[in-house]
Amino acid sequence: MIGGLFIYNHKGEVLISRVYRDDIGRNAVDAFRVNVIHARQQVRSPVTNIARTSFFHVKRSNIWLAAVTKQNVNAAMVFEFLYKMCDVMTAYFGKISEENIKNNFVLIYELLDEILDFGYPQNSETGALKTFITQQGIKGQTKEEQSQITSQVTGQIGWRREGIKYRRNELFLDVLESVNLLMSPQGQVLSAHVSGRVVMKSYLSGMPECKFGMNDKIVIDKQGKGGTTDDPGKSGKQSIAIDDCTFHQCVRLSKFDSERSISFIPPDGEYELMRYRTTKDIILPFRVIPLVREVGRTKLEVKVVIKSNFKPSLLAQKIEVRIPTPLNTSGVQVICMKGKAKYKASENAIVWKIKRMAGMKESQISAEIELLPTNDKKKWARPPISMNFEVPFAPSGLKVRYLKVFESKLNYSDHDVIKWVRYIGRSGIYETRC
Partner 1 sequence: MTDSKYFTTTKKGEIFELKAELNSDKKEKKKEAVKKVIASMTVGKDVSALFPDVVNCMQTDNLELKKLVYLYLMNYAKSQPDMAIMAVNTFVKDCEDPNPLIRALAVRTMGCIRVDKITEYLCEPLRKCLKDEDPYVRKTAAVCVAKLHDINAQLVEDQGFLDTLKDLISDSNPMVVANAVAALSEIAESHPNSNLLDLNPQTINKLLTALNECTEWGQIFILDCLANYTPRDDRESQSICERVTPRLSHANSAVVLSAVKVLMKFMEMLPKDLDYYGTLLKKLAPPLVTLLSAEPELQYVALRNINLIVQKRPEILKHEMKVFFVKYNDPIYVKLEKLDIMIRLASQANIAQVLAELKEYATEVDVDFVRKAVRAIGRCAIKVEQSAERCVSTLLDLIQTKVNYVVQEAIVVIKDIFRKYPNKYESVIATLCENLDSLDEPEARAAMIWIVGEYAERIDNADELLESFLEGFHDESTQVQLQLLTAIVKLFLKKPTETQELVQQVLSLATQDSDNPDLRDRGYIYWRLLSTDPVAAKEVVLAEKPLISEETDLIEPTLLEELICHIGTLASVYHKPPSAFVEGSRGVQHKRLPARAGSGESAESPDVGQSGPAEAPPAVIPSQGDLLGDLLNLDLAPPTATIPSVQPSMQMGAMDLLGGGLDSLMGDESDTLGGDIGGSPSMGAGLGAAPAAMPAALGSAPAVGGGLGDLFDLGGGVGMPTGAYVAPKTVWLPAMKAKGLEISGTFARRGGIIQMDLSLTNKAMSVMTDFAIQFNRNSFGLAPAGPLQVLTPLSPNQTIDVSLPLSTSGPVMKMEPLNNLQVAVKNNIDVFYFSCQYPLSLLFVEDGKMERQVFLATWKDIPNDNEAQFQIKDIHLNSDAASNKLQGSNIFTIAKRTVEGQDMLYQSVKLTNAIWVLAEMRIQTGNPNYTLSIKCRAPEVSQFVYQCYELVLKN
Specify binding-site residues. Answer: 340, 342, 344, 353, 355
Task: Report the SS3 class of residue 106.
Answer: helix
Helix (H) or strand (E) holding 29: helix 27-32
Task: Report the SS3 class of residue 82.
Answer: helix
Q: Does 218 bind partner 1 (CB under 8 A)?
A: no
State the minimum distance, in angstroms, from the CB of residue 295 to partner 1: 21
Binding residue (CB under 8 A) for partner 1 from 146, 330, 374, 408 = 146
State the minimum distance, in angstroms, from the CB of residue 153 to partner 1: 6
Q: Does 413 bind partner 1 (CB under 8 A)?
A: no
In the window 282-341, what residues touch partner 1 (CB under 8 A)?
none
Q: 105-115 and 75-93 are packed helices; what angle lies between their axes, rounded to 10 degrees?
A: 140
Burial (0-12, 13-18, 19+ Cβ within 10 Å), 313:
exposed
Q: What's the CA angle centered on 236, arms 234 and 238, to 5 degrees?
A: 70
Q: Does 345 bind partner 1 (CB under 8 A)?
A: no
Name the nearest CA neighbour of 341 among 358, 325, 328. 325
Identify which of residues 34 and 358 has a Cβ nearer to partner 1 in the complex.
34
Binding residue (CB under 8 A) for partner 1 from 40, 167, 297, 377 = 377
- DSSP code for 251: B
Q: What's the CA angle centered on 348, arms 346 and 349, to 5 degrees?
A: 115
Q: Does 153 bind partner 1 (CB under 8 A)?
A: yes
What pairs with residue 367 in β-bridges?
Answer: 302, 334
Binding residue (CB under 8 A) for partner 1 from 201, 217, 222, 275 = 275
* 160-168, 211-219, 268-276, 415-423 -> range binding partner 1 (CB under 8 A): 268-276
Q: Sheet of 362-371: strands edge to edge? A: 286-295, 299-308, 362-371, 329-336
State the minimum distance, in angstroms, from the CB of residue 411 to partner 1: 29
Q: Does 49 bind partner 1 (CB under 8 A)?
A: yes
In the window 157-186, what residues touch partner 1 (CB under 8 A)?
158, 182
Task: Report in angstroms the alpha-carbon separations of 250 from 130, 253, 263, 265.
Answer: 18, 9, 8, 6
State the minimum distance, in angstroms, from the CB of residue 268 to partner 1: 17
In the window 18-47, what residues touch partner 1 (CB under 8 A)?
19-23, 26, 29, 42-47
Q: How many residues bind partner 1 (CB under 8 A)?
A: 105
* 17-25, 163-171, 212-220, 287-295 -> range binding partner 1 (CB under 8 A): 17-25
Binding residue (CB under 8 A) for partner 1 from 38, 62, 218, 246 = 246
Q: Does 372 bind partner 1 (CB under 8 A)?
A: no
The 57-86 contact track toward partner 1, x by CB under 8 A, reads xx----------xxxxxxxxx-xxxxx---
From CA 10, how far away is CA 4, in angstroms rounded? 19
Helix (H) or strand (E) holding 386: strand 385-391
In the window 106-145, what residues touch partner 1 (CB under 8 A)?
106, 109-110, 113, 117-118, 120-125, 132, 135, 137-139, 141, 143
From CA 125, how far away is CA 128, in angstroms rounded? 6
Q: Does 8 bind partner 1 (CB under 8 A)?
A: no
Binding residue (CB under 8 A) for partner 1 from 34, 62, 94, 154 = 154
Q: Does 95 bind partner 1 (CB under 8 A)?
A: no
Residue 277 near residue 198, CB atoms below 8 Å: no
